[in-house]
Amino acid sequence: MEYEREFVMIKPNSVRRGIIGEIITRLEKRELKITALKLKNITENEAEELYKEHEGKAFYEELIDFIKSGPVILMIVEGPRAIDMVRHIIGVADPLKSSPGSIRGEYGLTVGKNIVHASDSPVSAERELKIFFNEEEIIEYKLNTQKDL
Ligand code: IDP
């Protein structure tokens, strides 16, 4: 099974609501491993780099302004099939279409402020995590449960 690293960002509205812990708990309960984590006000350049595939779309300016509106939590999460697993736990972009048990399906209301971001492929995960982390910030260790995987 493919062992992957996934980039996750808890969006500013979630930080302001005080639901960081609840979101991180969802990932930990699945035995995914957090190997990097920080709270940060992201810069204009970082926001544009992260969302460059959306440049020119109607919602782009609003998305950039929103993501810079307050601190975010940036994380790297690892495990077998981590990318699909995290996307499954989070739900789809529109909270209305996300399953009720998912993070967006439980805490989200609008597409624009859908609680959390996670990269959609191994290539985008590597590209996106490198915007915010260097390799020295990624910590290797073993979870107690890891031997069972
Ligand atoms: P994803 O976050 O599930 O990968 P994408 O379609 O890649 O979904 O969109 C990236 C982000 O852009 C979404 O999480 C959301 O914040 C924003 N976004 C996408 N579509 C819209 C829209 O129609 N209105 C406002 N924001 C949008």
**Tens of pLDDT, residues 108-138:** 999 999 999 999 999 999 999 999 999 999 9
The answer to whether residue 147 sits within a structural domain is: no
Q: 72-95 as b/e, with b when 16 or more CB fall inside 10 Å?
A: bbbbbbbbeebbebbbebbbbeeb
In a domain, 42, yes or no: yes
In a domain, 142, yes or no: no
Q: pTM for this one? A: 0.96
CB 44 within 8 A of CB 64: yes
> Would you call 126 helix, strand, or coil by DSSP?
helix
Residue 97's CATH number: 3.30.70.141
- The answer to the question of whether 11 is labelled as a binding residue is yes
Q: Can you give the pLDDT at residue 149? A: 58
User: Checking DSSP bridges between strand 72-80 and strand 3-10, what pairing results, if any?
Assistant: antiparallel
Using CB distances shorter than 6 Å, the residues near ligand 1 are 54, 59, 63, 93, 111-112, 114, 117, 120
Does residue 88 carry a catalytic annotation?
no
ipTM of the complex: 0.94
Q: How far is the CA of 57 from the centre of ligand 1 (A)?
A: 10
The radius of gyration of the chain from alpha carbons, rounded to an integer in Å, stands at 15
Q: Hey, whose CA ends up nearest to atom 3 of ligand 1?
A: 93
Q: Domain count of the chain?
A: 1
Q: The tokens of 85 are what? A: 């697993």
> Quick one: pLDDT band at residue 148, thresholds 50, 70, 90?
low
Q: pLDDT of 57-111, one tens digit each?
A: 999 999 999 999 999 999 999 999 999 999 999 999 999 999 999 999 999 999 9
Cα 137 to averaged position of ligand 1 atoms, centre (Å): 28
Residue in 20, 59, 57 with CA at minimum distance from that of residue 40:
20
Catalytic hit among 12, 91, 117, 119: 117
Q: Domain limits at 111? A: 3-137
**Cα 86 to the chain's mean position, in Å?**
8
Q: Whose CA is nearest to atom 26 of ligand 1?
A: 112
